[in-house]
Copies of this chain bind each other. A is one copy, B any other.
Amino acid sequence: MSLRFALLALLTSRPMTGYDVSKQFSQSVAHVWHAPDSQIYPELNRMERDGLLESAVVPWGKKGTKKEYAVTEAGVKAFREWMDAPIEIRRQREPAYLKAAYLEWAEPGAARAELKQFRDHWTEHLAMLEATRATLVDRSHPTLARRLEHYDASEWDRIVRYKIFAYDGLIDQARAAITWAERGLLLVDELEGSAAD
């Protein structure tokens, strides 16, 4: 159900085609709620069917057309209602931590490789989050810039700071994951005897 609201969140910045949505999505909302385009297109259709979006067919080149979606009043209302409703608490589902708890079953080499892979993934992810955070701070983030156009300048700080707050939380998570993986690598060295590799 959150996909629907992630899409509404994005579309409140400006009307977009499905293709725009799927491109912009991966650079913003997906940091917090990932979805592939095979989920995005059908969901946009369903949202239109449910009256949350309306679409206009726009010509594209000589023969091509594209469909631009805009949030309706009902869509804004649904989004506000979701924002005011209690959040769903996600259940724990962490394959990395599951494996960590049973690391005595792994080959030491495989244990090290997994922890490194995990650390590297989060290191990369952290860099991306920090880069995105920087574009929020200086307001160069394209979706944010378009969003601020609808508001009075006196509101800008408030809007931007909530987005930075969300990214700060994600950055903390990423840092914690990296620290944890590094502690894990030291632990494997200690328990399995350190091996060069």
Interface stretch, picked from A17-25, A45-53, A59-67, A162-170, is A162-170
- Give the total of A residues in contact with B, Cβ under 8 Å: 67
Contact present for B176 and A103 (CB under 8 Å): no
From A110, which residue of chain B is reached at the shortest CB distance? Answer: B84
Tell whether A130 is near chain B: CB-to-CB under 8 Å. no
Contact present for B87 and A6 (CB under 8 Å): no
Query: In the docked arrangement, what's the CA distance between A107 and B86, Å?
Result: 12
Contact present for B94 and A93 (CB under 8 Å): no
**A interface, over-half SS:** helix
Query: In the docked arrangement, what's the CA distance between A184 and B172, Å?
Result: 13
Contact present for A184 and B165 (CB under 8 Å): yes
Query: In the docked arrangement, what's the CA distance between A118 and B87, Å?
Result: 8
Tell whether A38 is near chain B: CB-to-CB under 8 Å. no
Contact present for A101 and B162 (CB under 8 Å): yes
